[in-house]
Amino acid sequence: MSNPNPVRILIVDDDPTVVEMLSAVLRDSKQAYAIETASKGSDAIATLFWQRPNLVLLDIKLPDMSGIEVLKRIRKADPNIPVLMVSGNATETAFAEALKHGAFAYIPKPFNVLYIDHLVAAALATRRSNRRGPVPSSS
């Protein structure tokens, strides 16, 4: 019996090998995920609007625009979608900028399968808790 509302994950990377590795890690997970992929930032943004993902795995360096620009557009469309930034050669400045714009975490290449599994679960748990509403401030 399949889940009528699977968790939707969008993988955005221009390297087909990376996309396949991430897809395989997620397929092998205990959770059933519906995986969409995009090789360009513009395709990711289009996918964001017709297939609203629950989580995005986003490369910092894409052929048509930076991953940071895609991240900014994701935040504008839905600030509750967790975004995990992925890169093998980005600078610390790029990751600091990604975190400043709301990235949940950074996944370095090459990947550690357990790390990816853990971060995806943590990011999705954060999204679920954010959907329950804001935590009242103590002031």
The verdict on residue 98 lying in a domain is yes
Q: What is the pLDDT of residues 102-128, one digit of tens each?
A: 999 998 888 888 889 899 999 999 877
Stated pTM of the model = 0.87
Could you tell me the pLDDT band of residue 135, with boundaries at 50, 70 and 90?
Answer: very low
CATH of the domain at 20: 3.40.50.2300
The verdict on residue 35 lying in a domain is yes
The DSSP annotation for 64-133 comes to SSBHHHHHHHHHHH-TTS-EEEEESS--HHHHHHHHHTT--EEEESSP-HHHHHHHHHHHHHHHHHHHT-
The verdict on residue 133 lying in a domain is no
Q: What's the structural domain count of the chain?
A: 1
Residue 14 lies in domain: 7-128
Could you tell me the pLDDT band of residue 2, with boundaries at 50, 70 and 90?
Answer: low
The verdict on residue 38 lying in a domain is yes
Could you tell me the pLDDT band of residue 138, with boundaries at 50, 70 and 90?
Answer: very low
Q: What is the pLDDT of residues 31-71, one digit of tens each?
A: 889 999 999 999 999 999 898 999 999 999 999 999 999 99
The verdict on residue 137 lying in a domain is no
Q: What is the pLDDT of residues 68-98, one digit of tens each?
A: 999 999 999 999 999 999 988 777 888 889 9
Residue 132 three-state SS: coil
The verdict on residue 139 lying in a domain is no
